[in-house]
Structure 1
Amino acid sequence: MSKSECAPTDALECCTSLAAEPIDAEQAETIAPLLKALGDPARLRLMSLILSHEGGEACVCDLLPCFDLSQPTISHHLKVLHDVGLVSRERRGTWVYYSARPGALSALGSLFDVAVPA
């Protein structure tokens, strides 16, 4: 799929490295919120904690002791990560479990692939 065929919601899934060719304004508008979400230290740390947690998923109750933040603040940060598509969530009884969306993270990482000259 060429970049001109990318729908805004598909920007990460269909776009290659930023070094391959310039992205258009619409793609930049789609990708920027993901980078902005990860630009917050608490959210970046939450991503790391979720990814490194046993089974690749964590409940707010698992994450809360790692921060000097209130439960509502942690929940807000997790909502931001969910809203931009970096994590998925599943309610189990009274708890909500969060897991990283591997496809979104892989696509985000591939944006920064730069070919090294031989």
Structure 2
Amino acid sequence: MVMSVENDVIRLLADPLRARIVELLAREALCVCHLVEETGAKQTNISNHLRALREAGLVETEPCGRFVYYRLRPEPLERLAAHYAELADAVRRTYTRDTRRACP
């Protein structure tokens, strides 16, 4: 069963704008003004998405003068990737035509 943290990550990344924000933050730390410029979304929308990502532990903040930069944390993504890698391994090990459950 997928742990609740992974469920949160899946739910958050299902939103196209949040997924785009995560992709951008995977390359460099950015502030809200950069994300507005890159995505074309409104500042309040970006801020709301960043708050959700921060609350889920996907991003962390880094104050820099009067700006706040957002940085992606790799650990939640690594846990999610590991979970799905384990599922893929289980399929490779056990799933064949002979492993079907009989119908009643």
TM-score bucket of the superposed structures, by smaller chain: 0.7 to 0.9
Q: Identity across aligned pairs (percent)?
A: 31
Give unpaired runs (5+ residues) of structure 1: 1-22
Contact 2:5 2:56 (C-alpha < 8 Å) held by counterparts:
no
2:1 is the alignment partner of 1:49: no
Using the size of structure 2 for normalisation, the TM-score is: 0.76
CA RMSD of aligned residues (A): 1.6
Give unpaired runs (5+ residues) of structure 2: 94-104
Q: Choose which of 21, 28, 31 in structure 2 pairs with 1:59.
A: 31
Deviation at 1:31, TM superposition (A): 2.7
Using the size of structure 1 for normalisation, the TM-score is: 0.68
Deviation at 1:73, TM superposition (A): 0.8
Q: Which has the higher contact order (CA 8 A, sep 6+)?
A: 1
Task: Determine which structure has more spread, i.e. the larger CA radius of gyration.
Answer: 2
Kindly indicate which of the two structures has a greater share of residues assigned to helix.
Answer: 2
Residue 76 (structure 1) aligns with = 48
The count of corresponding residues between Structure 1 and Structure 2 is 89
